[in-house]
Structure 1
Amino acid sequence: MDGSNTIEKICWEMDGAGGFDDIVLLFIQPQLDKSTGNNYTREYYQIKFHVNHSKAFSCDALADSSFIGNKSESLLQRVQNLRKSLGNHKDDALFFVVNTWGLDSNDRIGEILDSDGTIILDKLLNPGPKSKLGKVREKWRTHLGLKTDEELKEVLSPLRIVHSYSGFNSIDDTLNDRLRSAGLIPISAQERTNPYEQLIQKLHAEGKNEFTKQELFEVCKQEGLVAPPPSTGIHAVGIRSFVKGAENLEEEVDDVLCLLEHFDNRRLVDGVTWEGHIYPCLCDFADSTLAQQKPIQVHIDSHLVLAFTLGYCLDPKYGADVSVVQKTRNGKILWQPNTDELEYDKPQWSWNEHVIESENLATDIALAVSVTQDVFQDVEYYVSENLNSVRKIIEVSILPEPTNTSVKDGTHALNLAQRLISGVKKRRTISDRRGTIHLFMAAPAAAVLFMGQHAKTLGRIKIYEYDFSGSEPGAYTPALNFPIS
């Protein structure tokens, strides 16, 4: 059984699968049959275990219904009939017979089976009609009611005879290797019972015999069969304030800070405050993470304010090696900065300053940071409507322009963060430094976390969260003030 990452559904005791109903695998994409060079999308298994070796596979046995304990259908007839019932799928299915019985050493069957249990059709079909294999061919064709060898070839080509299969002890060893690689708890050698056998029996009694990979994993999780993450030299942590895409975060990391109870979509629930509830949770989580004294790998499924704040709490002065698992269009990618490749001589940002005419002695600055999209117009509108303490807006845009793919990797993200902080410091006057920086951002979570790590040198910062649920201009809400008093 190959292609576990491409399996769409697994079934057992499947209706309509004839005598190959013990296990059925349906694949998302066609799989290559290396024995024939053809593609297939489904596998059907007939699995039999015997306490002794009183019988053996032979050419006659494949055409004998009593060999499989059936009164009307032989093994070959089962393959033939199931192929017919599959309609359009008859030519893209494989049929596996898995059995502890071996091959009859006095029979010709050993000559026409390869090591994978595939019938070597050339050896069967090429000998003359009077040869021993020619007589086998004729017997099988007559038994199946076929007129030509080509028709016989179609029936035999997808059949796989997996003979002399291991006993239960060896199966447990192999199964344990598979269970560990799937993140599940192996079968204990000290216990008489097998929790997976019991689970299958329970599910069968409930009438449940078809599962997707995720559905089956959830069942194993409910039964306590999911193994804890393996110990590594890295401490993986996750922060979650969104549900979508983060349902299985606990299985991917060592520790999770789940803040779902504090949010209604992007807004804080009534009674919850950024300073009184959110920041203390993030600060404690960062302290416990740093206490592990390991390289830190962060999974972020949260508001950008939370990514920035976690970075602010993971101050570089603590010597933490921080990388981020960034969500991209190509899936989750580890963004691990390489400080030896930072490009200090190459421009990263474009800078524009917009002075606001005001009669008061305003000293604050609004910082509009555009990485994934341009935020300036929204920031300008919000400032004009809500922040009369702002003297100027510093517009900062990634070069060459903001897009969803403008940040290449972790090194680029760290480079952007460092250059942003140093660029802001250069552009602040003495009077500016007495005021607050009002920070508005649209950027990947990894870049935002690195910005937070280096932001303490900027002094007072007030960060804002954008409400993506509406289309109103300047849809920002104030979040945290740094440093927290």
Structure 2
Amino acid sequence: MTNAVSARIKGDDYQAYMFWIKACQLLTHDSNIDKIIYEDDKAKAWDDVVVHYEAPEIDAYGDSVYTDYHQIKYHVTHGGSIGWENLLDPKFINATSVSFLQRLHAAQKQLAPEGKGCRFNLVSPWQIHPDDPLAKIVITQEGELQWDKFAPGGDRSQMGRIRKAMREHLGLNNDDELKVVLRPLRIVHNSDNVKQINELLNANLKAAGLKPVDTGKIGNPYIDLIKGLLIKGKNVFTKDTLLEICKREGLWVGNVINEKPAVQLGIRSFRRGTGNMEQDTKHMLCLLEHFEDRNIKDKSSWNEPIVTKIEQFIASSTKEQVPYHLHLDAHYSISFAAGYFLDSKSGIEVAPIQKFDGLQVWKPDKKVKYEDYPGWIYEEHLRNEDANELVITLGVRHKTIDEVNYYLEQVDLPIRRVINCTIEGGPGGAVIQNGDHAWVLADKIAAYINERPFKERFGHIHIFPAVPNALNFFIGQFARAFGPCTLYEYDFEKRTPGGYEPAITLPPKKKG
């Protein structure tokens, strides 16, 4: 009896630890979290810790994620591991009739009917057994399942037998239905070492301005607090409500980690109208040697060495744990590539500098209401049903579609569709109001591209931008989910009709 009670208490404490680690993120100054729920009665079986975001995150598949649901599975010992059969066995979750996979299916039908929009995170100190087939298909980026490694093979193959067992267990008709069920699943390994968890919690508490836990004492005030709040029926927390509670309990010490001043970075590929970037930045990448005015000297230089130089510059100049401001006196392709190498998963806080009534730091709040700003208008033109490549034109500063269509008539590309993207109210130099507006537009165009038909996902994307560099940078931050894409540059000097040339292609080709 004593061991059973102890295990239950440790499991409750483990869940409380996970809550506070997430709650600390809610209290940081740049948090994207709207609210956190502890024991959410609306999310049966995935109710341990629920995190709602103000602006959607982009997950490993390129989908927008609005909510993370966590089932926190604690184990007293290190002796076990997770295998695919555990997911079908009710005993794995201490149940008698309903398995983990069945609970996932029920939640998916209720909260993610298309398999998108949220993540269901199984958090456990147990790891996937290295010899189990799950180890071959669950990767460490988010703990997501790689369907392209799970799907091949018939029902007699190793993966096919597992798919069949899962389909029959859930009463599904085919693998497409199973894919939708599994798409939002994440299997996340987390330490159960109390010392390590305390160290992680204290680091997060300090960053959030909360008093760290005294490791010389047995009790933990944060665990006691969340349990007490739950007893009183308080389990939903916004930043304001949680901050008020922590202040009342004497746990708030203020933002002891002061925000450091931003480091100025710069990338230059043309000189005219760029000012004195050398004096304005701490680190600068100068690419002028590759250009004559705005025209590239050697067209092959776009991808080598220019892309390599951009990637290396960003890696070498962003090693400090500080925010960065990025000056972009550069071509569209270069600004896009800079965003590509500074995507949200890089962990680097960076804001582009935009020339807009002077120089402005376009650091998006990401808490903005999308409906407050003019959005995209999409005009789709089908060119060749049998092709699989896609053209995106971004006519923000000026109209581009006629020039692009003329260019496409001169080249031989297997283009299936052309999508002309313009802004409500028409083109112009000031139609994008600020950094919030630019980030909203980037998020929306990325979501639109990621929803393209399955056939087009096998093809290349060709992007013809006429947008502010800051917007191009933000789009680049989302572009790892696009697949192969090429940016096109226009000859502004000659202004030849259809005067486009392919420039940077991403992702960069691997050497060797």
State TM-score, norm by structure 2: 0.47
Structure number with greater Rg is 1
